[in-house]
């Protein structure tokens, strides 16, 4: 079983995140980053499948130099090898271009039985990439899995919705996106951290994938951020003294702001 897990290096949600003033893209250079939390569930699920049988897990990411840290974390968890697509021309790419680069990288990896992704990224919350990627690869997409079982050439997921629970099957090779309900990601052990240092990580450019730089990047994006502004500081709340008419004042406040 050869599994590719697509992961993303994202700005730390606890850090002060902002945009680049030069082109209005997310600032990924001047902020601490890490492996997207939602992708940890995808890595963990892939590891569980391989540990229950045989095969290997390849971690794939697209991003600048710092994105290597996302691969490093996945290797420390237990993944076997990594692939880092790193090219300056990718900067500013949207979901459409990202899915193109990922698809070509997976084709280059070759002989893939299962592609696993998180349900979305924690920075852009763009949950459409898995479906786009499956379409480009010509694979069945079974998304938002709360449970995944792989038996032989069949992948079966449980998808928990607001009104119902669905059981969906697909014939391998396939793409599966997983939710944060599917497992509890492991912490890298000291042994895993040391072993990760010897695991292979390949770095590919767009040229290595045969992707034209004109197809990716900010100029090729279908949407752009026109402007941004810092969130204004929270103002002090208004204190209303209750002199027998507190209820009326509260009702007037809510009505003025169209809450009632």
The structural domain count of the chain equals 1
Q: What range defines the domain where residue 115 resides?
A: 2-220
Q: pLDDT class for 228, splitting at 50, 70, 90?
A: confident
Q: Report if residue 252 sits inside a domain.
A: no
Q: Is residue 25 in a domain?
A: yes
Whether 212 shows a pLDDT value over 90: the answer reads: yes
- In this prediction, residue 23 carries a pLDDT of 87
User: Would you list the DSSP string of 89-133?
Assistant: GGTT--HHHHHHHHHHHHHHH---SEEEEESS-TTT--TTHHHHH
Residues found in the chain = 260
Q: Do the domain assignments include residue 227?
A: no
Q: Is residue 60 part of a domain?
A: yes
Helices 68-77 + 37-52 axis angle, to 10: 40
CA dihedral (26, 28, 32, 35) in degrees, to 10, reads 90
pLDDT digits (tens, 9 = 90+) for 54-89: 899 999 999 999 999 999 999 999 999 999 999 999
198: how many CB neighbours lie within 10 A of its CB? 7
Which DSSP category does 29 fall into? S
Q: What is the pLDDT of residue 79?
A: 98
> Is 65 inside a domain boundary?
yes
Going by the DSSP 8-state scheme, the letter that residue 88 receives in this structure is G
Whether residue 38 is predicted with pLDDT greater than 90 in this model: the reply is yes
Distance of CA 168 to the CA centre of its chain: 22
Q: Is residue 254 part of a domain?
A: no
Q: So what's the pLDDT on residue 132?
A: 97
Q: What is the mean pLDDT of residues 2-30?
A: 84
Report if residue 55 sits inside a domain: yes
pLDDT at position 28 over 80: no
Q: Residue 8 is encoded by which pair of tokens?
A: 């993303």
Residue 231 in any domain: the answer is no
Q: What is the CATH number of the domain that holds 166?
A: 3.40.50.620
Residue 29 has pLDDT above 80, yes or no: no
- Among the residue ranges 9-23, 31-45, 70-84, 120-134, the one predicted with the least confidence is 9-23
How much is the pLDDT for 122? Answer: 86
Separation CA 68–CA 9 (nearest Å): 8
- Say if CB 95 and CB 129 are below 8 A apart: yes
Confidence of residue 31 (pLDDT cuts 50, 70, 90): confident
């Amino acid at each position: 079983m050869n599994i590719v897990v697509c992961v993303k290096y994202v700005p730390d949600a606890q850090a002060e995140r902002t945009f680049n003033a030069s082109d209005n893209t997310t600032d990924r250079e001047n902020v601490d980053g890490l492996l997207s939390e939602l992708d940890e569930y995808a890595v963990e699920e892939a590891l569980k499948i391989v540990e229950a049988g045989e095969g290997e897990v390849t971690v794939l990411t697209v991003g600048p130099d710092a994105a290597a840290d996302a691969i490093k974390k996945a290797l420390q968890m237990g993944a076997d090898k990594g692939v880092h697509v790193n090219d300056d021309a990718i900067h500013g790419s949207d979901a459409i271009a990202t899915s193109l680069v990922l698809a070509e990288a997976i084709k280059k990896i070759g002989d893939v039985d299962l592609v696993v992704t998180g349900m979305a990224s924690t920075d852009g919350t763009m949950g459409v990439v898995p479906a786009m990627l499956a379409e480009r690869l010509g694979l069945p997409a079974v998304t938002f899995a709360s449970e995944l079982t792989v038996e032989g050439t069949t992948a079966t997921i449980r998808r928990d919705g607001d009104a119902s629970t669905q059981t969906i099957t697909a014939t391998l090779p396939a793409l599966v996106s997983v939710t944060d309900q599917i497992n509890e990601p492991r912490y890298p052990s000291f042994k895993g951290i040391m072993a990760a240092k010897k695991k292979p990580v390949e770095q590919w450019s767009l040229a290595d994938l045969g992707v034209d730089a004109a197809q990716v990047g900010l100029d090729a994006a279908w949407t752009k951020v026109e402007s941004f502004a810092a969130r204004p500081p929270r103002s002090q709340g208004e204190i209303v003294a209750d002199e027998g008419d507190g209820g009326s004042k509260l009702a007037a406040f809510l009505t003025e702001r169209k809450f009632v």
